[in-house]
C-alpha cells in the first residue's frame, strides 16, 4: 500500500484520544503518527468504525488541531529484540532514556524517538549452525557475549515452517544490522537474518516446543515467601497493599536476591521518586551471584505517573515481551510490574473516552481478560533444543485504601498462583516484609517439608485467635497453655517471618539456611513448655527471641552460628520455664 493512500486527518481530540478520518483501510492496533508541525506523535489505533479510527496518543496532545495529517505505518506496536538490551533503561516505547537525555536534556522532548539498540556497536558472533542445516523459528543460529550471558541469535519468531541455512557468517565482529545468515524456505524463498528482529508487544512469543506446569520453587531468599507463600519458577504472584505498606521495597528485595538469571522492572505509572531510587541503587549494588553490578542482568522500563497515561499500557507489554525473548535463550526471567493498578486506571480513562459501557467502579468490562492475558504470558517452557526457560511475573497492585475487594485486585487474584497481601497494620508495627501470613496464600509448594509448613501456619492461626480473645477478656481470661501458644506464634513471626533489610546476613536467607533454621522452629512449636506462670513464659520467649535475632545475623555454619545455635538448644532442652 503506498504512503499516499495510508494517511488520514484529525477530526476530533478528546484528551489523549484522537479521532481520525481515513479513506482507505486501517488495521486494529496499528501504529500511526499524528503530525503537529515538525513533530510526529506516536499513536496506536484502538478502535475502527467505518471510516473513522480512534487513536490513543503516547505523547502530550496539546497543539493537535482538526485537519492535522495522520500517517499510518501498517505495523503493530513492536519492540527491537537483540544484543544490547541488558543494563538499559527504556521508556514504555523502548526509547533509551539515557540517550534521550543526552540529546534533549532531562525534560523529554515530545515526538523524539531513538533506536533501542546501538547499530554501530560490534558484537563477537560465533556460529552454531552450518550450511544445509534445517531450522525453525526460535532456533539458535549463533551466539554473542552480552554482559555475563551468551546471547542467542535466533531464527526470527515470525518465520513459519522449516528453513534451510544457505549462508552463515564466520566467527567475527558484526553490527546488529549486518546479515549473519541467509535462510531458504520450502518454496525456495531466501530471507536474510540479522542479529536484531522486531516483534509486536501484544503478541506472545511461542517459538518453543512445550509449555510446562511450574513446579520447582523459586528461591527469593525472603523467608515468609519461600516458606508460607512460595512462588514457582515460571509462576505468577501479586502483591496488593495500601500506600506505604512496602510494595516497592519488597520488589527491590526480590530483584536483588531472587535466584533468577535476568530481572526486568516495569515501573508502570509509579511516582518518579520510587523509580529514581531504583536508578540510583541498582548500578551500585553488587550482585551476590556474580560479584558484578546488578544492572548487568537488569532491564528497567521506566514509565512514571507524570508521563502520558497511554504509555502505561505499552510499558507493561514491552516488559513482558523482553522477558519472553530472554526466556527463548533458556534463561529464567523475573518480571516485576509496579503497579498494574495504574495500568488499569489508564484503561478506565481510555474506556471512558471511547464511551464504552462501564463495569464495576467504571473499569472497562474487559478488565479481567486483559489482566489474565498479561499473566498468562508467564510460564516454564521447554525449547526445541531441550533446554528450559521461564518467565515469572510478579505484579504489585495498589488498591485504594487497601481495599482488596476492588476490581483490579479481584481480577488479579483469579489468575495468579500466589497472593502476597501486604498489611498496613504490620507495616505500622515495623514488621517487614509486611506480608500478612494469615491472609496470603499460594498454590505452589515450598522446598520446606509440607508438614512442617502446616505446623507453622497452624500456630500462627492459633496465636491470632488467642490474641483476639485476650483483647476482649485480658490475659487472665485465657489458660497458661493458650498463652504459651500465643507466645509461640508471636515468636515464630518475629524471628523467622520478619527480616532485617539493614543486616547484610539477615537481608537474604539461602534455601539451605532456611531449611536448617525452620527445623529448629518446628521443634520449638512441637515442644510442650511448662511455665510456672504467664510472666515466666513471657520472659522465656523474649529471651529466646533475642537469641534467635542474634543467630539470624551470624553467617551460616560459621563458628559463631554454631555456638549461638547450641545456646538456643540448651535453653529449650527440658521444656521447663521457671520464674
pLDDT, average across residues 299-328: 90
Helix/strand/coil (H/E/C) assignment for every residue in 87-113:
CCEECCCCCEHHHHHHHHCCCCCCCCC
The confidence score (pLDDT) of residue 246 equals 87
Judged against a pLDDT cut of 70, whether residue 285 lies above it is answered with yes
pLDDT at 2 over 50: no
The answer to whether residues 173 and 120 touch, using CB atoms and an 8 Å cutoff, is: no
pLDDT bucket at 42, cuts 50 / 70 / 90: very high
Q: What is the pLDDT of residue 574?
A: 61
**What integer best gives the mean pLDDT of the chain?**
93
Closest CA to 245 of 27, 495, 73, 435: 435
- To which residue does cell 515468636 refer? 491
Number of CB atoms found within 10 A of residue 479's CB: 10
Residues linked to residue 14 through DSSP beta bridges, in sequence order: 17
Cα-Cα end-to-end distance for the chain: 90
Enter the pTM of the model: 0.95
User: What residue has cell string 539498540?
Assistant: 117
How far is Cα of residue 80 from the mean position of the Cα atoms in its chain? 20
- CB within 8 A of 72, min separation 6: which ones? 6, 7, 8, 22, 26, 27, 30, 31, 32, 45
pLDDT per position as a tens digit, 404-452: 999 999 999 999 999 999 999 999 999 999 999 999 999 999 999 999 9
Q: Pick the closest to residue 33 from 110, 97, 132, 122 (CA basis).
A: 110
Proportion of the chain above pLDDT 70, given as a percent: 98
Average of per-residue pLDDT across 458-482: 95
* Distance of alpha carbon 547 from alpha carbon 549, whole angstroms: 6
- Residue 385, H or E segment: none
Q: What is the pLDDT of residue 442?
A: 98
Query: Nearest Cα to 216, choosing from 481, 459, 462, 417?
Result: 417
> Is 20 exposed, middle or buried, given 0-12, 13-18 or 19+ CB atoms closer than 10 A?
buried
Using one digit for the tens of pLDDT, what is the confidence trace for 20-40? 999 989 999 999 999 999 999
Q: Is the dihedral of CA 412, 370, 260, 297 positive or negative?
A: negative
Are 56 and 312 spatial neighbours (Cβ–Cβ below 8 Å)? no
- Per-residue pLDDT, averaged over 543-563, amounts to 96
pLDDT at 3: 45
Q: Is the pLDDT of residue 166 over 60?
A: yes
CB 140 within 8 A of CB 111: no
Say whether 413 sits in a helix, a strand or coil: helix
CB 300 within 8 Å of CB 90 = yes
What pLDDT, on the 0 to 100 scale, is given for residue 389?
98
In which band, very low, low, confident or very high, does the pLDDT at 1 lie, cut at 50, 70 and 90? very low
Asked whether residue 579 carries a pLDDT value surpassing 60, the answer given is no
Q: Is the pLDDT of residue 301 over 50?
A: yes
- pLDDT band for position 269 (cuts 50, 70, 90): confident
- State how far the Cα of 219 lies from the Cα of 207, in Å rounded to an integer: 27
What's the pLDDT score for residue 362? 95
Measured CA to CA, the distance from residue 85 to residue 144 in angstroms comes to 13
What is the pairing mode between strands 441-442 and 418-419? antiparallel
One DSSP character per residue, 244-309 reads: TSSHHHHHHHHHHHSS-SEEEEEEEEE-HHHHHHHHHHGGGPBPTTTSSBGGGGEEEEEEETTS-T
pLDDT in tens, 511-541: 999 999 999 999 999 999 888 899 999 999 9
Position with higher pLDDT, 105 vs 119:
119
**What b/e string do you get for 162-184 counting C-beta neighbours within 10 Å, with b at 16 or more?**
ebbbeebbeeeebebebebbbbe
Task: Please report which helix (H) or strand (E) contains residue 397, including its range.
Answer: strand 388-397
Does residue 273 register a pLDDT over 50? yes
Instruction: Summarize the confidence of residues 156-184 as an average pLDDT.
Output: 96
* pLDDT of res. 5: 54
Amino acid at each position: 500500500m503506498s504512503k499516499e493512500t495510508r494517511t488520514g486527518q484529525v477530526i476530533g481530540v478528546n484528551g489523549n484520544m484522537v479521532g481520525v478520518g481515513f479513506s482507505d483501510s486501517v488495521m486494529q492496533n496499528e501504529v500511526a503518527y499524528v503530525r503537529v508541525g515538525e513533530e510526529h506523535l506516536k499513536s496506536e489505533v484502538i478502535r475502527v468504525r467505518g471510516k473513522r479510527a480512534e487513536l490513543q496518543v503516547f505523547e502530550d496532545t496539546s497543539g493537535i488541531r482538526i485537519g492535522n495529517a495522520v500517517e499510518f505505518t501498517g505495523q503493530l506496536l513492536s519492540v527491537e529484540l537483540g544484543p544490547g538490551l541488558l543494563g538499559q533503561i527504556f521508556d514504555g516505547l523502548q526509547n533509551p532514556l539515557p540517550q534521550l537525555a543526552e540529546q534533549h536534556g532531562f525534560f523529554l522532548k515530545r515526538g523524539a524517538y531513538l533506536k533501542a539498540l546501538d547499530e554501530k556497536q560490534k558484537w563477537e558472533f560465533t556460529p552454531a549452525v552450518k550450511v544445509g542445516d534445517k531450522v525453525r523459528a526460535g532456533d539458535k543460529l549463533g551466539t554473542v557475549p552480552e554482559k555475563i550471558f551468551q546471547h542467542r541469535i535466533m531464527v526470527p519468531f515470525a518465520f513459519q515452517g522449516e528453513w534451510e541455512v544457505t549462508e552463515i557468517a564466520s566467527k567475527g565482529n558484526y553490527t546488529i544490522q549486518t546479515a549473519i545468515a541467509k535462510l531458504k524456505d520450502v518454496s525456495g524463498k531466501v530471507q536474510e537474518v540479522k542479529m536484531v528482529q522486531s516483534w509486536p508487544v501484544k503478541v506472545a512469543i511461542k517459538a518453543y516446543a512445550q509449555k510446562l506446569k511450574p513446579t520447582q520453587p523459586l528461591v527469593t531468599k525472603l523467608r515468609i515467601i519461600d516458606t508460607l507463600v512460595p512462588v514457582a519458577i515460571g509462576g505468577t504472584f501479586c502483591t496488593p497493599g495500601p500506600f506505604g505498606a512496602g510494595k516497592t521495597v519488597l520488589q527491590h528485595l526480590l530483584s536483588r536476591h531472587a535466584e533468577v538469571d535476568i530481572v526486568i522492572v516495569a515501573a508502570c505509572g509509579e511516582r518518579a521518586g520510587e523509580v529514581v531510587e531504583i536508578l540510583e541503587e541498582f548500578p551500585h549494588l553488587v550482585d551476590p551471584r556474580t560479584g558484578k553490578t546488578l544492572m548487568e542482568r537488569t532491564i528497567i522500563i521506566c514509565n512514571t505517573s507524570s508521563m502520558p497515561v497511554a504509555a502505561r499500557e505499552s510499558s507493561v507489554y514491552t516488559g513482558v515481551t523482553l522477558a519472553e525473548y530472554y526466556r527463548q535463550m533458556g534463561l529464567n526471567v523475573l518480571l516485576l510490574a509496579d503497579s498494574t493498578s495504574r495500568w488499569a486506571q489508564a484503561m478506565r480513562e481510555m474506556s471512558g473516552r471511547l464511551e464504552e459501557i462501564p463495569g464495576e467502579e467504571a473499569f472497562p468490562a474487559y478488565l479481567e481478560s486483559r489482566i489474565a492475558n498479561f499473566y498468562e504470558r508467564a510460564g516454564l517452557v521447554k525449547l526445541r533444543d531441550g533446554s528450559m526457560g521461564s518467565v515469572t511475573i510478579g505484579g504489585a497492585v495498589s488498591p485504594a485504601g487497601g481495599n482488596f475487594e476492588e476490581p483490579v485486585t479481584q481480577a488479579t487474584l483469579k489468575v495468579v498462583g500466589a497472593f502476597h497481601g501486604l498489611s498496613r497494620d504490620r507495616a505500622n508495627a515495623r514488621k517487614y516484609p509486611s506480608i500478612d501470613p494469615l491472609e496470603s496464600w499460594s498454590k505452589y509448594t515450598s522446598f520446606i517439608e509440607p508438614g512442617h509448613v502446616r505446623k507453622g501456619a497452624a500456630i500462627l492461626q492459633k496465636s491470632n485467635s488467642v490474641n483476639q480473645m485476650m483483647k476482649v477478656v485480658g490475659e487472665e481470661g485465657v489458660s497458661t497453655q493458650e498463652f504459651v501458644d500465643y507466645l509461640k506464634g508471636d515468636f515464630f513471626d518475629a524471628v523467622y517471618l520478619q527480616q532485617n533489610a539493614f543486616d547484610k546476613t539477615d537481608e537474604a536467607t539461602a534455601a539451605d539456611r532456611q531449611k536448617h533454621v525452620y527445623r529448629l522452629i518446628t521443634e520449638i512449636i512441637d515442644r510442650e513448655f511448662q511455665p510456672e506462670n504467664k510472666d515466666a513464659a513471657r520472659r522465656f520467649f523474649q529471651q529466646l527471641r533475642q537469641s534467635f535475632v542474634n543467630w539470624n545475623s551470624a553467617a551460616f555454619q560459621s563458628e559463631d552460628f554454631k555456638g549461638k545455635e547450641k545456646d538456643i538448644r540448651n535453653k529449650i532442652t527440658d521444656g521447663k520455664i521457671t520464674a
